[in-house]
Amino acid sequence: MDNILNYDTVSLDEEECALEIIDQTLLPYEIKILKLKDLKDIWDAIYLLKVRGAPAIGVAAAMGMYIAATQIHTDDTEEFLKILHGKKEYLNSARPTAVNLSWALNRMEKVCMDNSGADVCKLCKLLKKEALDIKNEDTEMCRRIGENALSLLKKGDGLLTHCNAGQLATSKYGTATSAMYLGHERGYGFKIYCDETRPLLQGARLTAFELSGEGMDVTLCCDNMVASLMRQGLINAVLVGCDRVASNGDVANKIGTSVVATVAQRYNVPFYVCAPSSTIDTGTATGNDIVIEQRPAEEVTEMWYKRRMAPENIKVYNPAFDITDHELITAIITERGILRAPYDLN
């Protein structure tokens, strides 16, 4: 099978004016590139996790908004902006937890508002440039996060990561995995452990897939095995991404992250959150204010099995994310630097 890193996670087909993404729901069995032109299809791709990871969602949404703008058939700027705002709000409803989605969409709309005297053709050109800028900035942002994280690690370290904060979640390098890619290029010889990560198994299907495909030393483990690894001294640091950082340092990330952080504190293992500054939401005071997305029960009871593995009509609790309290976080690593407690991110 092709190396997944040979493909862009998310890109703009400028000739066809289409959003190109890897359908991540099919990995690791099949690499399928989707070309999406319809706004409903782009909304579905974000909601159904065909494209996922906070930075990649932001890039996809920005490109989706540009594509939607080109399909508005009016020469009246005021009418154009009104219709575009509705399309922006529609895209923003796809995922409530990842702040990059609303951040990217608001940034795209701001370009129009700052140039409201321009004609519709000019506004579409500005939206296209902004969407491409967001992608290029994401690549550089991830590289800088990796450099900052690498300064905290040493050769031969055992590293644990949860969910997928890799290249498949960004434009390139990933956030939590950026230091792993950079370290691999420089001969650090990291020993990497990936949690499988319920309920959608992004660690098993995506992180283990992309890192092993790059030739890294990767071991897959179930989520409830992290204490065993840490007790044996096999983990020197935990690196995770996140979807939103509250102003007090609480973070929302894939369900199970808070368990890893709690166990890491018990065994004195540094717990690092790797996050672009765009993920910091100063309008959210604490983790208690973050909306947690609930996923369908079928993802737990039958999605990964040949036969249903739970009783019919059993109630299922299936949040996509949990909140890791800031007291459990050793540092938040951004492209701008390394933040440590006490956190005040306003």
Where in the sequence numbering do the catalytic residues fall? 243
Strands 158-161 and 237-240: parallel
Q: How far is CA 158 from CA 210, 226, 265, 280, in A?
A: 18, 12, 16, 28
- The beta strand positions in the chain, using DSSP E, are 10-13, 18-22, 33-36, 158-161, 191-195, 217-221, 237-240, 244-246, 251-254, 271-274, 280-281, 321-324, 331-334, 337-339
Residues sharing a CB contact under 8 Å with residue 186, sequence separation 6 or more, in sequence order: none
Is there a contact between 247 and 282 (Cβ–Cβ < 8 Å)? yes
Contacts 24+ apart (CB under 8 A), 126-129: 127/65, 127/66, 127/69, 128/12, 128/14, 128/66
User: Of 124, 110, 121, 153, which Cα lies nearest the Cα of 63?
Assistant: 124
Write the secondary structure of 281-312 as one string of H (helix), E (strand) and C (coil): ECCCCCHHHCCCCECCCHHHHCCCCCCCCCCC
In angstroms, the CA 323 to CA 224 distance is 18
**Per-residue CA distances from 147 to 101, 152, 174 (Å):** 25, 9, 12
Residue type for position 338? I
Beta strand segments in 67-164, E:
158-161
Total length of the chain: 346
CB 253 within 8 A of CB 241: yes
Task: Give me the residues paired with residue 332 across strands.
Answer: 273, 339
Closest Cα to residue 202, out of 230, 227, 232, 174?
Answer: 174
